[in-house]
Amino acid sequence: MKINYCPLCGTKTNSIHLGDEDLSLCPKCNKKYPSFNYTCVIIICINEEGNIAVIRQSYGVDRFVLVAGFVKPLEALEDCVKREVNEELGLNASNIRYLESIPMENTENLMCAFVCDVKGFISLSSEVKEIKFVKIDEAIKLLNSATIALKVVKDYARKL
Ligand SMILES: [Zn+2]
């Protein structure tokens, strides 16, 4: 995403090229801004039986997805995984492993996929209306309309 207005002073920025980078320059602050992606995590949560959590959210399109969320400023990706799993499911994430990253063309989000083990008592946030822990084949079926989640689980299954 291109920075069209300076986040510090609100002045319209100018596009400049520096080496191989396209930057936005604030003519007032003289500050340069690279274009950016919002970073998100998407998480394969595995319970003690080895099953994967698929959830239905209480807003948006009614379909099964994986736990996911935006990374906060100054937050490590692994901490974001722990926070999202805890906020959405009430569970504790451990053994967090990076899988892959997927840039999304429509939103310009960078999805960073992780797998982790989850333990504890389920306590769903108001954003989640249903959770199912299912075998990987079943997860692939349930996630059929969630493009990114489906790719993440299929890629993960291929490496098992
Ligand atoms: Zn400025």
Domains and CATH numbers, the chain: 1-36 (no CATH), 38-159 (3.90.79.10)
In the predicted model, what is the mean pLDDT of residues 129-145?
97
* Ligand 1 centre distance from Cα of residue 14 (Å): 11
User: Which residue, among 5, 44, 19, has the nearest Cα to 156 in the 3D structure?
Assistant: 44
Cα-to-centroid distance, 36 and ligand 1 (Å)? 17
Query: What beta strand segments (E) does the chain contain?
Result: 14-18, 21-25, 32-34, 38-46, 52-57, 64-65, 67-70, 92-103, 109-119, 128-134
- Ligand 1 centre and the CA of 143: distance in Å? 44
* Mean pLDDT of the region 43-71: 96
State residue 86's pLDDT score. 98
pLDDT class of 1 with cuts at 50, 70, 90: confident
Tell me if 116 sits within 8 A of 37, measured CB to CB: no
Mean pLDDT of 102-125: 95
Do 88 and 125 meet the contact criterion of CB atoms below 8 Å apart?
A: yes
Residue type, 80: C
Q: How far is the CA of 113 from the centre of ligand 1 (A)?
A: 34
Distance CA 38, CA 154 (A): 24
Residue 39: predicted pLDDT: 97
Mean pLDDT for the stretch of residues 131-142: 97
Using CA atoms in the order 100, 84, 40, 130, what is the torsion angle rounded to 10 degrees? 90
Instruction: Give distance in angstroms: CA of 37 to centre of ligand 1.
Output: 20
Determine the distance separating the centroid of ligand 1 and the alpha carbon of 108, expressed in angstroms: 24
Q: pTM here?
A: 0.90
In the reported structure, the alpha carbon of residue 92 is separated from the centroid of ligand 1 by a whole-number distance in angstroms of 42
CA atoms within 13 A on the CB side of 156: 26
For residue 105, what pLDDT is reported? 87
Helix segments in the chain, DSSP class H:
77-89, 136-142, 147-159
Radius of gyration of the chain (CA): 19
Q: What is the spatial distance between Cα 88 and Cα 71, in angstroms, rounded to a whole number?
A: 14
pLDDT tens-digit readout, 144-158: 999 999 999 999 999
| pLDDT for 24 beyond 90 | yes
Percent of the chain with pLDDT over 90: 90
Distance, CA 154 to ligand 1 centroid (Å)?
A: 44
Task: Write down the pLDDT at residue 131.
Answer: 97
Tell how far the Cα of 7 is from the centroid of ligand 1, in angstroms. 7
β-pairing, 21-25 vs 14-18, is antiparallel
Does pLDDT of 36 surpass 90? Answer: no
Residue range 40-60: mean pLDDT, rounded:
97
Q: How confident is the model over 54-81, as a mean pLDDT?
A: 96
